[in-house]
Amino acid sequence: MDSKESPHRFDEARASEYMPRRDLVKTAILLRQADPDALVTIQAPFGPEVMKGDFYVVASPDGAYGAARVEFEASHIEIGPQRWIKQSRVLAYQTTEACLVETLLADGTLEGTVEAHPRDWIVRQAAGEVMVIEPERFAERYESGS
């Protein structure tokens, strides 16, 4: 892949709707911040993550990651103490070639670029966040929305 190529942006025309698997239960703990402007850095499986304001620490098989409180609560239902299931659909498609993908936060802020490989899924969450997910992880998390 040429490092000078233009980053790939989410292509809604290629996307289909997928729903989260109802059997995927997440463990998440809310961390309330005394200072809403304080920045907290956590080491997520995909690298350092800077959180601002109240956020959830979400357990995953690869390690914990952060999720902003507003977006997490808008896309998940609490089914028990610290147990959540995702309820919002995503738009996604598989890439057929290696490319650099612009990953975005829910507010549209450019988070960075991630290398996607053939068969990786390019996903846009309901709140607008764009990410790259490996095929095996995508199959564990989502099913066809039709």
User: pLDDT tens, 3-56?
Assistant: 456 788 899 999 999 999 988 899 999 999 999 999 999 888 877 888 889 999
CA atoms of 66 and 49, how far apart (whole Å): 7
Structural domain includes residue 54: yes
How many structural domains is the chain composed of?
1
Structural domain includes residue 1: no
- pTM beyond 0.85: no
The helix/strand/coil state of 69 is helix
Structural domain includes residue 52: yes
* Bridge partners of residue 84, in order along the sequence: 26, 78
pLDDT at 2 over 70: no
Which tens digit of pLDDT belongs to each residue from 119-146? Answer: 999 999 888 888 899 999 999 999 987 6
Structural domain includes residue 2: no
pLDDT at 115 over 80: yes
Q: Can you give the residue range of the structural domain that contains 38? A: 12-144
Q: Which residue has the tokens 């764009």?
A: 130
Structural domain includes residue 111: yes
Structural domain includes residue 3: no
* Bridge partners of residue 52, in order along the sequence: 39
- For the record, the structure tokens of 122 come out as 């390019």
How far is C-alpha 146 from the chain's CA centre? 21
